[in-house]
Amino acid sequence: MTGITRREFGTFVGATALAALPLPAIAARNKADLAASKGPRIVVLGGGWSGLSIAKYLKQADNTLDVVMVERRKSFFSLPLSNLWLGSLIEKAKLSYRFEDAAKLGGYTYFNASMTELDRDKRRIQTDKGWIDYDVLVLAPGVEYDYASFGVKDPAAIQSLKKHYPAGFVSQQEQQIILDQIKNFEQGIFVLTAPPGIYRCAASPYERACLIAANFKQRKIKGKVVLIDSREEPAVNGEGFLAAFEELYGDTIEYMNSTVVEGVNPEAKIIKTDFDEIKFDGGAIYPRTRAARMIEHFGLNDPASPQKEAKIDPFNYNFIGDERVYIAGDCRPMPFSKSASVAHSEGKHIAKVIAARLRGKATPWITPQSICYSLVSAHPKEAILSRSYYRYDQATKQWAFDPKSKSYNSRNEALGKDALDWGDAHFRELFGA
């Protein structure tokens, strides 16, 4: 059995932990304007794939729970499938949904606010629209970027990178900047990076390289996509991606494997690697990720975690020492794929755990599943697929892939259709769309 270790997902390159940053000042000291709770109040922070799934399945597990999802965004934008939008293969409408619709469908409350503080003794969170008391709190705030991990520490340089060459792994705004770059690209090098560590959506940098290259080829742009990766081969579906790079994109994709990014100068448009300096004309530069700073700020991170992930019971997801606080989604410490499918499937389990514990019962752990389709060809739409399940080996105290995990590396149109169907099924399930 192969243990999934941190090293397997890449080496931690020169990481310097950023000091915990203060969260925004509290704007409101009043009580949040919410109807009085009729049952135990479960506050779910974050309306990403994790929070949406947990909120919905909490109500299914026990309809008497008063579930409030606190989310700062006014509308949902799906990162899964967004590479297809960058490749001009789907419309933005396919990715955009209303939190109000999700809440109505799931029977919970959507509260549009930013969480700023946590008082675990009082079981109270502060938001910029007032405080909310909880019986159980679930934090699912996602990830942030760690630019210092590849040597960029100057705040002006970080701002410049975010503004001009954003990674596009957290928000719609970043994706829009990348899309505008692609549409206006005339010639030269479009640089992408696959970060070390366990980063959000392992397949995505490689899929993105394919779809941008396909777009350049179709528009006859004299451009090349350069993908820099510290690994020897793609983090997932290596065989399928390498075949696509070679057979479909020849000189339009240059895959720089075993190459470590050591610095970026956004003004001079230069990436420094352990081999060379690369001058680029556009790009989406993806640094290592870390758990959202909120986790560290509230003292909920594991000091041993280089990516500042949460210190939780890996089977039940509660913060160690507090069964009233759960932490889920991409800031979990277990080496599962940081994917929507894991967030969604583990979300169903977490909902059951919380509902059962409130009744004094326990729920057996079940593996989350990661289902990751990658479109490698745009015309026709052909995809490859990675499907992973996990198990914990008590003897070695390590996580491992369950043997039923499987990679499908032979690209085909049926998988391309399945990729879109996967999105539709989830948008229907979570938003009724």
Ligand X SMILES: Cc1cc2nc3c(=O)[nH]c(=O)nc-3n(C[C@H](O)[C@H](O)[C@H](O)COP(=O)(O)OP(=O)(O)OC[C@H]3O[C@@H](n4cnc5c(N)ncnc54)[C@H](O)[C@@H]3O)c2cc1C
Q: Shortest Cβ contact with ligand X: which residue?
A: 48
Are 414 and 380 in contact by the 8 Å Cβ rule? The answer is: no
* DSSP 8-class letter at 5: -
Q: β-strand 318-319 against 130-133: which pairing, if any?
A: unpaired
Tell which one of 51, 333, 335, 368 touches ligand X (CB under 6 A): 51
3-class SS at 122? coil
Q: State the minimum distance, in angstroms, from the CB of residue 431 to ligand X.
A: 14
Please report how close the Cβ of residue 294 comes to ligand X at its closest, in angstroms: 6
47 binds ligand X (CB under 6 A): yes
Applying CB under 6 A, the span of 2-10, 44-52, 305-313, 348-356 interacting with ligand X comes to: 44-52
What is the maximum alpha-carbon separation in the chain?
64
Instruction: Give the nearer residue to ligand X in terms of CB position, either 74 or 359.
Output: 74
Closest CB 340 distance from ligand X, rounded Å:
3
- The CA–CA distances, whole Å, from 15 to 53, 124, 148, 258, 306 equal 32, 34, 7, 18, 8
CB 189, CB 223: distance < 8 Å: yes
Task: Decide: 178 and 166 in contact? Cβ < 8 Å.
Answer: yes
Per-residue binder mask for ligand X (CB under 6 A), 107-126, x = binder: -------xx-----------
138 touches ligand X by CB under 6 A = no
Q: Which residues contact 121 (CB under 8 A, 6 or more apart)?
A: none
| Least distance in angstroms from the C-beta of 73 to ligand X | 5
Q: Does residue 195 belong to the site contacting ligand X (CB under 6 A)?
A: no
* Whole-number Å distance between alpha carbons of 73 and 46: 9
Segment near ligand X (CB under 6 A), from 29-37, 262-270, 334-342, 357-365? 334-342
Judged by DSSP in three states, 101 sits in helix
Q: Which of residues 219-278 bind ligand X (CB under 6 A)?
A: none
Among 18, 41, 42, 48, binds ligand X (CB under 6 A): 48
Cα angle 347, 332, 286; round to 5:
110
Q: What are the φ/ψ torsions at residue 194 (nearest 5 degrees)? A: -110, 115
Among 67, 192, 310, 343, indicate the residue that binds ligand X (CB under 6 A): 343
Is residue 43 part of the contact set for ligand X (CB under 6 A)? no
What residues between 291 and 310 interact with ligand X by CB under 6 A? Answer: 292, 294
41 forms bridges with which residues in the sheet?
66
Query: Under a CB-based contact definition with an 8 Å cutoff, are residues 44 and 52 in contact?
Result: no
CA atoms of 372 and 389, how far apart (whole Å): 12
Position 142 contacts ligand X (CB under 6 A) = yes
How far apart are the C-alpha atoms of 285 and 365, rounded to whole Å? Answer: 37
φ, ψ of residue 98 to 5 degrees: the values are: -100, 130
Shortest reach from residue 214's CB to ligand X, in Å: 16
Residues in the chain: 433
CB 189, min distance to ligand X, A: 21
Measured from the CB atom, the residue of 119 and 274 that comes closer to ligand X is: 119
Pick between residue 83 and residue 193 the one whose CB is nearest to ligand X.
Answer: 83
Contact track, ligand X, 58-87, x by CB under 6 A: ------------xxxx-----xx-xx----
Helix axes 155-164 and 172-184, enclosed angle (nearest 10): 70
Pattern 393-422, ligand X, x by CB under 6 A: ------------------------------
Positions that interact with ligand X (CB under 6 A): 45-51, 70-73, 79-80, 82-83, 114-115, 140-142, 169, 200-201, 204, 292, 294, 329-330, 338-341, 343, 372-373
